[in-house]
Each structure stands twice: as structure tokens, then as C-alpha cells.
Amino acid sequence: MGLLDLFRKKQKNSANTAKNRLQIIIAQDKADASGPDYLPLLKRELLEVIRKYVSVNPDAVEVNLSHESDHDVLELNIVLPDRPATAADGV
Amino acid sequence: MSEVIVVTSGKGGVGKTTSSASIAMGLARRGHKVVVIDFDVGLRNLDLIMGCERRVVYDFVNVINGEASLRQALIKDKRQENLSILAASQTRDKDALTQEGVERVLNELRADFDYIVCDSPAGIEKGAHLAMYFADRAVVVVNPEVSSVRDSDRVLGLLASKTRRVEQGEGKIQEHLLLTRYNPKRVADGDMMSLKDVEEILGIQVLGVIPESEEVLQSSNSGNPVILDLDSPAGQAYDDAVARLLGESRPLRFLEVGKKGLFQRLFGG
């Protein structure tokens, strides 16, 4: 390390940040690309249907399509709020 | 049996044309008959990097359209008689390249050349698709930088599905990683992803690492592929990469920071 380095403000290890971010986003890109084209639309419509009855966050609905030996599994995971508000509550 | 090699990347400005020029020149210097084709229709640049821009009369699209023969359109390199260049057209017609046309020209070239190097345009549109479609091997040019790595991963996805070999059930084409603009000092400082990082993310075999060096720009300025400058680290690194492409095993160089003088060590930089 040079003498002047002592006075330089350094942001350490941005390379590691880059690598971690890439690993996450590439895994996500891959998952998106491998799913059928209708998946994003299916996700949106499912969310709309659910919200007709229960007020949930868009983030609370998780739709996953996974492949098993001879069939695909569509997995739907919805986190309901503690006290489910109904459409009648005027949401 | 001739081989079609696509040089591709997804992202622009990472060194595809520079790499195509040096790889083609390197293969030709080793005694192979080589043609390098610019697929970047509308943005012709390989001719400049190869230093033959004033000798372009007919181009790739002219040949596809039957307006010129291959013999008329191929530009013989003045430094290396084994090497020919086929320039891109400057037309703005996006549909100037057709799959049938490209296939016909490549088949004709296969009869005369050992290696056909296809310099892909950036992006994942038609030009890039056609540049990779008939390839037997791919060199994926990557900078150690987030957007380049992500785009390369997309391109690897396309190489795995959108090539003639895959479509005809002949299996995946061989993919090689060429890491360019590598700066060992910044890697050592933790400011740039290392070769190992990029390898781990992309999961393909390394063909070479080209250090960031002044000579690359100087070579483009003068129209001499940097591989001709064997005194420069970049030229040597390209020479190694070409040797590996031909199956030679050579250790990777230029991954570490060079020795510094006392002055540099005291004051950094």
C-alpha cells in the first residue's frame, strides 16, 4: 500500500457486491426465461382474483412453476394478513 | 472440415470486433485459411479495425443478394495472405440478412476456408441471431462488469437453444469465455470482479484473459489487430487465446499486478 493510500477514502470490495448482485439477478433471469410465456399474466390475474376476496399485498402472492420428472407443478403461495379484510370492508 | 466461430457478447463495446480481428489474424498466422465476416449491418467497423476500410467495394449483403460474387467481395489482407475479410453492408434495411442467404454464403466459404469467424453485432436481434445460428463454436467476450456479465448470461442461454446444431439435435456448441479489459490492479484492490468470479457466475470454459492495455486503442487507431503487436500484453494474451482455441494448453498470464518501482509503491497509482 502506498503512503497516499492512507489518505484515500476507499470503498472496499465493490467487486464482491457486484458478484452477489449478479448471482441473484441471473438466477431470477433464468427462472423467468425458463417459465412459459403465460406465467406473468397468470400471476397477475390470480392476484386480481384473490384481491376480489382478500386484501393482500402483491408481494404476498408467490407463483412458482417447477419441473418434476414427468410433470410440472404450479405452486401457489399466498400469505394472508392477520385479520383478513374482505371486499365488503371497502378495500 | 471447416469451422464456424461466432464472437459474441450481448452488450456492445466490450471488444467483439477487436477480438474477432485478433482471433482471425492469429489463426491465419498459424497457417490456417481464415475469413472474418462483419455481421453488424448498418454499423460496419471490422474494416476499420482490420485497416482495409478503403478497399471495401462489395459487402456481405451484396453477396447475399447476388449483386456481387464472393470473389469480388472478399478483401485479402495485405499483411497475411491466409486471411480475408467480408465487410458488413451499410444499408439501413434491417432485413438485409436472411437465414437462407447467410447459410448459402457460409456454405460457399466452407469450401475455401478452414475457419470462418463471425463478428456478431451487439444485442440479441436478428443480426446477432444469424451470426450465432450456424456456429460450431462460440467465443463470448465479457468485461468484468455487471451489465456485461448479465448480458453474456442471456447470450449463453441463446447459444444453448438457438443454433442450428441444437435445433438439429447435434448437441450444444462449444462455448469459450474471453475476458477482456481485465485490470489486475483493480481486481487486487477489490474493485473489479476477478476471473474466478466471472467464471463462477457464467460457468463456461476460459479461453483467455486480455488485460486492459493502451496498445488496444493504438492498434485500432492504426488499423492493425493488436495481436500483431506481440510486445504488448494484450497482443500476447490474444496469441495465447488463439493457441488455446487450437487445442494448445497455455497457462493464463497477466492475472497479477506487475512489479512496481519504488516511486509507484510509495505514492500508489
Residue A88 in this model has a pLDDT that exceeds 80: no
How many Å apart are CA B269 and CA B265, to the nearest integer? 8
B150 touches chain A (CB under 8 A): yes
Residue A40 in this model has a pLDDT that exceeds 50: yes
Give the minimum alpha-carbon distance from A80 to chain B in angstroms, rounded to a whole number: 35
Name the residue facing A5 among B194, B197, B268 (closest C-beta): B268
DSSP letter string, chain B: --EEEEEE-SSSSSSHHHHHHHHHHHHHHTT--EEEEE--TTS--HHHHHT-GGG--S-HHHHHTTSS-HHHH-EE-SS-TTEEEEPPP----TT---HHHHHHHHHHHHTT-SEEEEEPPSSSSHHHHHHHHT-SEEEEEE-SSHHHHHHHHHHHHHHTTSSHHHHTTS-PPEEEEEEEEE-HHHHHTTSS--HHHHHHHH--EEEEEEEP-HHHHHHHHHT--GGG-TTSHHHHHHHHHHHHHTT------S-SPPP--HHHHHH--
B201 touches chain A (CB under 8 A): yes
Share of chain B above pLDDT 70, in %: 96
Say whether A14 and B187 touch across the interface (CB within 8 A): no
Say whether B191 and A15 touch across the interface (CB within 8 A): yes
Decide: B210 and B172 in contact? Cβ < 8 Å. Answer: no
Give per-residue pLDDT as tens, B71-116. Answer: 999 999 999 999 999 999 999 888 899 999 999 999 999 999 999 9
Q: Give pLDDT, residue B74.
A: 98
B268 touches chain A (CB under 8 A): yes
Predicted TM-score of the model (pTM): 0.83
Say whether B157 and A30 touch across the interface (CB within 8 A): yes
